[in-house]
Amino acid sequence: MAACSAGLAADLRVGMIGLDTSHSVEFTRRLNDASDPDFIPGARVTVAVKGGSPDIAESWNRVEGYTKTMRENYGVKIVDDIGSLLEEADVVMIESIDGRPHLSEATPVINAGKPLFIDKPVAASFKDVLEIYRLAQQHNVPIFSGSSLRYYPNLQAMKSDSIGQLRGAISCGPAELEPHHADLFWYGIHPTEALYTIMGPGCESVVCTATTDTHLVTGVWSGDKVGTLRGIRNGASPYRVTVFGSQKVLDEQLAGGYTPFLREVVKFFQTGVAPVSAGETIEIYAFMQAADESKQAGGCPVKISAVMEKYSSQPLAP
């Protein structure tokens, strides 16, 4: 927490792990370039490890170009390993596009007591998601992960609108698959988190129907609320949310960018308080894991509690 307190007087030094996604450059531009209209004060990316996954073309084909941009355009120092990065960073952002190494990347950061942001997905498997959060809880290290969609202005406006009693919601968006990740963990995390932005935690059971082009996931929440995710492949796939209330129905195609989300990340680094609870984030991944298991079981309902029990070796605090 000393690192968080120090950031109130001076910019926090951000160490970035993984330069194989456009997020690394987009986030650094907003944090490092004071002349940029989207500039966010309070934290600055100063050191990075480039990372990269040879068996994912989207990672390996981009990492060298993004590394060059980070070094030459934004003055970021590139080091060879996480140990060297930790010596020069107050807080850490894991940006590796591949969720598989996230546990191994997060472990030394957590052991060093550094506040940690993990870009989507938290990990490639639900087992690793739970282990990352267990380690953070064990070491009392602040941790936050999320999708930028949560803070899109019109989604936040829908969340705060007076609709009467919330009855349910539908969220749709792209859900491309990647063979090394559980189905929805790769890109379905975005429309899933948009759904949870409206519904909040409390899903009890999940049913999934999957075809080549579509994942259709229906969750039943406490209080008989129903939330539906439509993950789309091979077709038009706008991010769109419909909210059903007892007095009003809202429907919006989502629009926004990274800046509101990154402001929340910087605030998290400064305060050590995540804007989304660990419990909700874990449930989002349990929802996607339950969808995967329902698909494998031919569309049978899967309880969130059963998923948690199956994968939890130790209980986690809310």
Q: What is the pLDDT of residue 316?
A: 55
Q: What is the pLDDT of residue 107?
A: 98
d(Cα 21, Cα 250) in Å, to the nearest integer? 33
The dotted CATH code for 2-148+261-273 is: 3.40.50.720
Which portions of the chain are predicted below pLDDT 50? 1-9, 315, 317-318
Residues 6 or more apart from 161 whose CB is under 8 A from it?
Answer: 243, 248, 250
Q: What is the pLDDT of residue 2?
A: 45
φ, ψ of residue 251 to 5 degrees: the values are: -145, 125
Residues 6 or more apart from 135 whose CB is under 8 A from it?
Answer: 106, 107, 110, 141
Domain ranges within the chain, ordered by starting residue: 2-148+261-273, 149-258+285-311
Q: What is the pLDDT of residue 312?
A: 83
The dotted CATH code for 149-258+285-311 is: 3.30.360.10
Q: What is the pLDDT of residue 313?
A: 66
The packing angle between helices 153-160 and 189-199, to 10°, is 30
